[in-house]
Copies of this chain bind each other. A is one copy, B any other.
Amino acid sequence: MERIERHACCGGWQEVHRHRSKAVDGEMRFAIYLPPQAQTQRVPVLYWLSGLTCTEQNFITKAGAQRHAAEHGVAIVVCDTSPRGENVANDAAYDLGQGAGFYVNATVAPWSQHYRMYDYVAHELPALIEQHFPVTRQRAISGHSMGGHGALTIALKNPGRYCSVSAFSPIVAPARVTWGEKAFSAYLGSDRETWRAYDATELVSSANEQLPLLVDQGDADEFLHTQLQPELLQAAAEAAGHPFELRVRAGYDHSYYFVASFIGEHVAYHAAALRG
């Protein structure tokens, strides 16, 4: 593991590291914000999953989350959205291949060689973080758009691993919208039964842990009625009796201006859960 960036920020340190990942069989980068409290004690961790086209940079430069993480004494870990590199399968489209890993373990060639972002985020990355940084094993998870899908599905698939989960503008039903259908067809193949394991609206129906789901959604989001449709998750959660809160924000779009506007509320929400 090699540290490639380190900046003082809001009393703590914003770092970026690269390392060899077994899960994706290649180099991965992640960012970690260590709040001032981490200089003297172990702190809990909020994992952030980004959306289509993003790297570990978008959230750390645009969301302004460090100020809130410093206030609450929470570390924030941000990973890339896919494996990368010349030897990694790719596609010219922005919504498939590099920058669009969809947080699944691909089972279909050529994607299956490296696209194992589910294993990376759910297992390898937390183990690495907990080995090398002054953090506790208290974990929360959140994300934006494709990353909101990742946060919801990874939390639902791993009962007990996360104290809390939230999502901004998430793709809640990838198996039923064009972004998800395209990605899942490529990564998982044509058998739609296999897609259910990565679809929050399917997973919530059979969840054996009642971890509340918090979703923040702008009502001027250009993808709201096509790719996102949070009402699908709301209906599935209600049918399953699963705690679910949808915060609809008038006038807000899909951009990081939306995330930056409400990330403070989410960090506070996760901090309360992480404190237990």
Chain A contact residues, CB within 8 Å of chain B: 7-11, 14, 61-62, 64, 66-67, 218, 220, 249-253, 255-258, 260-261, 264
The answer to whether B257 touches A7, judged by C-beta atoms less than 8 angstroms apart, is yes
Please indicate the chain B residues that have their CB under 8 angstroms from the CB of A61 in the complex.
Answer: 61-62, 256
On chain B, the residues within 8 Å of A261 by CB distance are 8-11, 66-67
Distance of A38 Cα from B56 Cα, bound (Å): 35
Which B residues touch A66, using CB under 8 A? 257, 260-261
Q: Are B8 and A218 in contact (CB under 8 A)?
A: yes
Identical chains bound together, number: 2
Q: Identify 17 new A-B residue pairs, CB closer than 8 A, beyond the known A7-B258, A8-B257.
A: A7-B252, A8-B218, A8-B220, A8-B250, A8-B251, A8-B252, A8-B253, A8-B258, A9-B261, A11-B261, A14-B257, A61-B61, A61-B62, A62-B62, A64-B64, A66-B261, A67-B260
- CB neighbours of A264 from chain B (8 A): 67
**List of B residues within 8 angstroms of A67 by Cβ:** 64, 260-261, 264
| Chain A interface, DSSP helix/strand/loop, else mixed | mixed
Can you give 12 contacting A-B residue pairs, CB < 8 Å? Answer: A7-B255, A7-B258, A8-B220, A8-B251, A8-B253, A9-B258, A10-B260, A11-B261, A61-B62, A62-B62, A66-B257, A66-B261
Bound CA–CA A166/B260 (angstroms)? 25
A145 CB → nearest B CB, Å: 15
Return A217 CB to nearest CB of chain B, in Å. Answer: 13
A7 to B252, CA, bound (A): 7
Nearest CB of chain B from residue A264's CB, rounded to whole Å: 8
- Cα A255 to Cα B57 in complex, Å, equals 14
Q: How far is the CA of A252 from the CA of B8 in the complex (A)?
A: 5
A257 to B6, CA, bound (A): 10
A9 CB to nearest B CB, Å: 4
Q: Which residue of chain B lies nearest to A261 when distances are taken between CB atoms in the complex?
A: B10
Considering the complex of A and B, which 3 residue pairs feature the smallest CB-CB distances, nearest first? A64-B64, A8-B251, A7-B257
Report whether B253 and A7 are in contact in the complex, using a CB–CB cutoff of 8 Å.
Answer: yes
Best-surrounded residue of A9, A10, A14, A257 (most CB of chain B within 10 A): A257
How far, in whole Å, are A264 and B64 apart by their CA atoms in the complex?
Answer: 12
Q: Which residue of B lies closest to A250 (CB)?
A: B8
Q: Which of chain B's residues have a CB closer than 8 A to the CB of A252?
A: 7-8
A176–B14 Cα distance when bound, in Å, is: 33
A250-B39 Cα distance, complex, nearest whole Å = 15
The docked-state distance in angstroms from the alpha carbon of A56 to that of B200 is 39
Contacts of A220 in B (CB 8 A): 8
Q: A61–B57 Cα gap in the complex (Å)?
A: 12
